[in-house]
Amino acid sequence: MPYILCVYYSRTGSTEKLMKEIAQELKCEIVKLEDGVDRSGISGWLRSGMQAMARKLPPVREFKTVLPLTAYDLVIIGTPVWAGRCSAPVRSFLRDYGQQLRRTAYVITRASDVRYEEVFEQMDLYVQEPHAAAVTIRPGSVGAEFWRDSFLASIRNGGKEKPGHAG
C-alpha cells in the first residue's frame, strides 16, 4: 500500500468535510493546516481574500506527520478557492514544503460554477512534479459525490487520470 497523506486548510468546514471523506476512504493520515490569522466574520473574509489576491504567505503553524514529508508516495492537498486562487495558508504550506513532496494531488472547493482549474497550475509552481490527479468540487452541488468518487478511483489507479470537476 502506498503511503498517502492528506493535508488541507478549511475556513468554514467544506474542504475539511471533503478531505475527511477522502482520507477515510483511502484509510490514510490527515493533517489540518492552521495559521494564527483571525479569519472569522466579514473582516476575516476580506483579509483572506486580500491575502489570496496579493499571494501573501502567512506562516502556517507547526504540524506533525507520522513520516517525514519526503517519505509519502502521495500528498493530497485540499484548499478552498479564495479570489480565484488557492487559500493563503495552503500557498504558505506549498512554499515551505512543496519541494519535499514527491507526488501531489489537489482537491479544491469553491462556491461558484467556475471550475478554477488554473489553480492547479498555480499550485504546481511550488512542487517538484506536476500534480498526478486533481479535482474541483462545489460542495453540495449535483455530482459532487460523483466527482469525489472519480477522484478516489483515479488515486487508487495510481493517479494517472485527471477526473476533472463537479458542477
What is the footprint of ligand FMN within residues 66-105 (CB under 6 A)? 80-84
- By C-beta, is 103 or 137 nearer to ligand FMN? 137
List phi, psi (to 5°) of 163. -70, -15
Residue 50: helix, strand or coil by DSSP?
Answer: helix
Q: Between the CA of residue 4 and those of 52, 109, 136, what are the distances in Å?
A: 27, 20, 20
Number of residues that bind ligand FMN (CB under 6 A): 21
Using CB under 6 A as the binding rule, the residues of this chain from 11 to 70 that contact ligand FMN are 11-16, 45, 48-49
Give the nearest distance from C-beta 68 to ligand FMN in angstroms.
Answer: 27
Cell, residue 81: 478557492
Asked whether position 109 contacts ligand FMN by CB under 6 A, the answer is yes
Instruction: Give the largest CA-CA distance in the chain.
Output: 44
Give the single-character DSSP code of 70. Answer: G
Which residues make up the interface to ligand FMN (CB under 6 A)? 10-16, 45, 48-49, 80-84, 109-112, 114, 139
